[in-house]
Amino acid sequence: MTGASSGIGEAVARAAALAGARVAVLARRVDRLTALAEEIDGVAVAADVTDHEAVAEAVAAAADRLDGLDALVNSAGITRPGLLADTDPAAWRMLFDVNVVGLLAVTRAALPHLLAASAPSVVNVSSMSGRRVAGPASGAYAATKFAVHALGEALRMELQPRGLRVTTVAPGFVRTGIADGEPESPFREQLAARLAEEGLPPTEIARAVLHVLALPAEVTVVEYAVMPTAQRDHGFLEPPSS
């Protein structure tokens, strides 16, 4: 479980452990990760998904501690809301390094262990922004999530014949702290407000992930899109209707 120190990743880890799974949690923040692992009797493997050598070591350690891997849930991600004309290209690179290349690095490291399992699964937590661009300030973020959708399709084509199920979960607004570490801007403030006002609790996304993983091995959910009933299917720059 990547991105497990907060938000959706933490919620999925807790739900999976409650359902009886042995869970390895991966994230950068060692203190929060260790505390979570102790609470759920899981395995903490700290790594930044942009450090591919550390990722490979962490995944190998997780597989060793758990005697293999049956499922991988990729949930690590960041957002950098802002207009393309005003954004430092370094922010674009960081978005892709975390949201796309990081996902690839974790998945590649996990594949040998997954393919040794009897009914392996990969669940990539993407976004509704991977289906439709939310607004002009979310273009780069949406591009990474479109990429996550594409990678899910490609991985399914490559490895479904070997029994690997691949699912893309596409949430709408979720009440997480994803905007907390972003630079101050009107876009960040509007995004944070919409998430707080309309977002689903992360536990609802965890419920979706566990539903997918609990299905019989012969059933693959290709995409699971879920959003708050209160959320209009438009961008976060548009004010909510009164």
Contact 166, 159 (CB under 8 A): yes
Q: How far is 160 from 139, CA to CA, in rounded Å?
A: 31
Contact 73, 123 (CB under 8 A): yes
Active-site pick, 92, 141, 224, 236: 141
Q: How far is 12 from 207, CA to CA, in rounded Å?
A: 8
Tokens describing residue 183: 């630079």
Strand order in the sheet with 121-125: 71-74, 121-125, 165-171, 223-226
Neighbours of 70 (CB within 10 A): 16
Place of tokens 């944070």: 192
Q: What are phi and psi of 113, to 5 degrees?
A: -75, -40
Neighbours of 168 (CB within 10 A): 28
Burial (0-12, 13-18, 19+ Cβ within 10 Å), 176 = buried
User: Does 141 qualify as catalytic in the annotation?
Assistant: yes
Q: How far is 234 from 221, CA to CA, in rounded Å?
A: 25
Residue numbers annotated as active site: 141
